Structure 1
Amino acid sequence: MDYPKTQAERHQLALWEESQEFTILGVIEVFTTDIQGYAAQVIVCDRLSNPPEIVAQLEKLNIFDIPYFFDWYFLSPSDYPEIKRYVERLNYLRLLIIEYLRNL
């Protein structure tokens, strides 16, 4: 995905986060790691041990369910467009993995 393209925006967001009680970049990093891990499992493994359990975990992993992330994302729609596109792609990948596992 286009994470390197977000470098300038990540720097700008890090400066903004200094005055906040939460970290948007931290949430995105954890979300990225989790989704990449599940995607790697699907690509590498012929058979996953418990697809329904993985689907349940992925359904809980919705970044937009985090209230402060949701507020940040939707309250300033024109800010940080590259980061937001990156998150949208990751979330789409999460949904694709869920769909794939449901159809096994």
Structure 2
Amino acid sequence: MTQTQNQLTSQQNYIAQLLEQLTVNYQNTKLERKQIAQNFPQSEAEFTPLEEIELLTVSIRGYASQIAASGTLRNDRQAIAELQKLSVFNNHLIVQLYSEARSHYPQMQSYICMLDYLRLLVLEYLQNQQTQQLMPA
């Protein structure tokens, strides 16, 4: 195995571990999510901050789960482009909640950080995988 392949395998394993930890962290936010739902009711925005986080979670976890299970994605270029757009901190509702979370919702703040970290790891994995595919055998 080449050094790059070893690196990809290590990243794949770490992504799988982080997915498990993210699930635990999400479960730990249950009480805070109830409080957030009460304190951030539906506004003029299409989605609430919690719904925005759910949408990001589904996308990011979906990519991470595929990598953890098989090490590949069908369309890695499309996934890279989408993951670059999905930055947790590009969403003003999530940023607003995140700044509020510092003092009121520490578990949710931790979850948001971990979700974005997972996104970055998946993005790095896919970019490294593309680089390896371009290298001569």
TM class by shorter chain equals 0.7 to 0.9
**What is the one-letter code of the residue matched to 2:36?**
L
SS of 1:48 mapped into structure 2: coil
Query: Looking at CA atoms only, which structure, 1 or 2, has the larger radius of gyration?
Result: 2
Equivalent residue for 2:77, pick from 29, 36, 52: 52
| Greater alpha carbon shift after TM alignment, 45-54 vs 92-101 | 45-54
Q: What whole-Å deviation, never above 9, does each CA across 1:46-92 have from its counterpart, x for those lacking one? A: 44333222111111111211122223322563121101101111110
Which residue number in structure 1 is paired with residue 26 of structure 2?
Answer: 3
Q: Which has the higher relative contact order, 1 or 2, with Cα contacts under 8 A spaced 6 or more apart?
A: 1
Runs of 4+ in 1 over 6 A off after TM superposition: none
Which residue number in structure 1 is paired with residue 93 of structure 2?
Answer: 68
| Greater alpha carbon shift after TM alignment, 81-90 vs 66-75 | 66-75
Contact (CA 8 Å) 2:32, 2:105: kept in 1 or not? Answer: yes
**What is the one-letter code of the residue matched to 1:9?**
E
TM-score (norm 2): 0.68
Q: Displacement of 1:30 after TM fit?
A: 1.0
Q: How many residues align?
A: 104
Q: What whole-Å deviation, never above 9, does each CA across 1:6-57 have from its counterpart, x for those lacking one? A: 1111111111122644411101111111111101111223443332221111
Name the structure with the higher helix share: 2
For residues 85 and 76 of structure 1, do their structure 2 counterparts lie closer, same or farther at Cα, with a shift above 3 Å needed? closer
**What is the one-letter code of the residue matched to 1:14?**
A
| Greater alpha carbon shift after TM alignment, 59-68 vs 44-53 | 44-53
Structure 1 segment 73-84 matched on structure 2, within 5 A: 73-74=98-99, 77-84=102-109
Gaps of 5+ in 2: 1-21, 130-137
SS of 1:49 mapped into structure 2: coil
Gaps of 5+ in 1: none
TM-score (norm 1): 0.87
